[in-house]
Structure 1
């Protein structure tokens, strides 16, 4: 292995550590402050962006999870009145899911707190740091 290869490996471990640590902090924040989970937040965020609703298959693709995982989360959100399912008028096999007004209001409160929490997690990064890191991550995503 070359020195550059070893440095890339160390960078990967550090990146993974930052990602896992940040995700764990956000999970804990959502649990303690909003009595919810990160998967529920992610589903609500996806549905918030698509207010007209999406099919369960679209939702699964958006979240990069299985239909079963998405369905389990949607089941709980529906039971809590945060989302509603509507059967397609043209295809009985297709079901659309969308946020309820209560779900939208709850998500907006969570999202505001989530953003503030992310801001705290990365408050050591200035504008130049964010620009440089964003550019590096964009380059990495193209490989």
Structure 2
């Protein structure tokens, strides 16, 4: 049998000795562990350094990338969270003066949200620190290794969308 191919163990059709499958399972578990660890560290640093949260950072990031603003439904779709979750976060960002709501002409029920000048400045400050944190958390990889890994993960994402 070719190396790396799956083989049945002990003739039991329900039990497989699958080296390729096991290696991929170990990779998945390691990716999950690394991702959760980095995310937990980023959450903690946002909380401690900016009295903020990762969801708030994500909303501000999405709005920073869309200077014309986004409808609430667009924002929730982009972030892949419910409208209710986004509404609560936006409400607090409005209270803090980081985001403003605007009526959407021709649609009384919709509002568009965008960063205020204060919000842009605050997000810029947080984003710079966030980038430094991520760089430090991933310093075990040199820039070429990070680029190579990104390309490999992009291959998985492309396969996933087929």
Same fold (TM over 0.5): yes
After the TM superposition, which segments of 4 or more aligned residues of structure 1 sit over 2 Å from their partners? none
Residue 106 of structure 2: aligned partner: 90
Higher RCO (CA 8 Å, separation ≥ 6 residues): 1
Q: Pick from 19, 38, 46: which aligns with 1:30?
A: 46
Matches of 1:99 and 1:21, distance apart in 2: 29
Higher helix share: 1
Q: Does 1:133 align with 2:149?
A: yes
Number of residue equivalences: 143
Q: Which has the higher strand share?
A: 2
User: Which residue number corresponds to residue 5 of structure 1?
Assistant: 21
Rg bigger for which structure? 2
Tell me how far apart the structure 1 counterparts of residues 122 and 154 of structure 2 sit (CA, whole Å).
32
CA distance in 1, matches of 2:150, 2:64: 25
Report the secondary structure of 1:142's partner residue: helix
User: Which residue in 2 is equivalent to 1:124?
Assistant: 140
How far 1:140 moved relative to its partner? 0.7
Instruction: Structure 1: give runs of 5+ residues left out of the alignment.
Output: none
